[in-house]
Amino acid sequence: MTTGKRSILPRVFRMGWKVTVCAFVVAICGLNASGQVINDPENVTASIGDDVNLEWTFDANGEARLFEVWKKVPSTALASRSGGNTGPLQYFDQNQNGGNRKFSVIGAATLFVRDVQKEDNGPYQLSITFGNGVDLTSTAYLIVNYPPSIDGITASPSSTVREGSSLTLMCNADGNPDPAVRWTRQNGALGKAATIDANSGNLVFPNITLADKGIYTCTVENVIKGAPQAASKDISINVLTDQLTTLAPTPSLTSPLPPLTSSMTSSVTSVVSSLSSEGIDATLPPLVVGDDSDPESTATSLYPAPRSGVGRLQACMYVMCLLLSIFLAGPRQS
């Protein structure tokens, strides 16, 4: 009997150890038996105006779904539901679109997006809270393709530059997929020094010349649903030169004039004497006709000393007018 009892007890202990281990394993498995996503939408591509579904598939592993929420990352809540598939859905104010709901939840976990637009591009997230307190989160990306557009062309430093300076033209374009940028010039090819940056698509003139001025066109292109899409915009570039135009010198009234000679003075005196003998008062008023420092001038003996070359010009004009008046008057009738 004693021997039998001794043989039974170790066997019981061995069985108890196995049961304990199994119970521990079951407990661990039970803790990990929460819901898991079997399939998420990952990347979904759409074009402007399309309707798309972001469809999640998950396994709750027998756990009740207490709460679910769909949102556009980072923080825009779109819809929520309590109590699983049969629970009431709540949609939020920003989810309305002219009376037609922009976002709708279909079935277990599908988010329907109506009339896709550019602003709908981005990540969307589904979060589920299970009855055991475990939270499950999965993110999908909606990629919206749209034709290219050009907001404007930026000329740095300016669309008017001096010859020899640098100039960069930047085409401010938008589109998805990213549009390719192409530069052309109206009525001519791009200058030899002009280059297109492979990364940015900018048109760069490191040392612009007069020959580079003109109208340039930026064209951006991509493909939507197999169809080429494009947009273009122009900019006019003006190049100034530092070269000065040489003009013929303009005669100055203050330029020195040749001095009056004795023969010229004698002629004036003879004309005055002749007019006086005919009874005509030909007394000349004081004129500035010469230069004190000019020994060749004999006019200083007849008239007050001149002060500048302007006086000489006045004297010559006066004498010419006087001779013209004598010519027009003709011989005096006796």
pLDDT in tens, 94-131: 666 666 788 999 988 899 999 999 999 999 999 999 88
Provide the pLDDT for residue 242: 78
**Sorting pLDDT into bands at 50, 70 and 90, what band is 43?**
confident
pTM value? 0.58
Burial class for 313, CB neighbours closer than 10 Å (0-12, 13-18, 19+): middle
* Rounded distance between C-alpha atoms, residue 192 and residue 178, angstroms: 28
Pick 132 or 227 by higher pLDDT: 227
The predicted-structure confidence for 189-237, as pLDDT tens digits, reads as follows 998 889 999 999 999 999 999 999 999 999 999 999 999 999 999 999 9
Scan for tokens 């940056």, then name that residue.
197
β-strand 122-130 against 110-113: which pairing, if any?
Answer: unpaired
Q: Tell me the C-alpha distance between 112 and 171, whole Å.
A: 36
Residue found by looking up tokens 């009892």 in the block: 5
**Both tokens assigned to 206:** 């490191």
Cα dihedral sign for 279, 283, 289, 291? positive
Instruction: Look at residue 38 and tell me whether its pLDDT is greater than 80.
Output: no
For residue range 268-310, list pLDDT tens digits in order: 566 667 656 666 555 555 544 445 455 444 444 444 444 445 4
Whole-number pLDDT of residue 9:
41
Q: How far apart are CA 20 and CA 32, in angstroms?
A: 19
258, 298 contact by CB (below 8 A) = no
d(CA 263, CA 243): 50
Contact between 54 and 42 under an 8 Å Cβ cutoff? The reply is: no
Q: Which amino acid is at 317?
A: M
Interatomic CA distance for residues 5 and 17, integer angstroms: 19
Cα gap 257→299, rounded to integer Å? 14
**Strand-by-strand arrangement of the 52-55 sheet:** 52-55, 110-113, 103-106
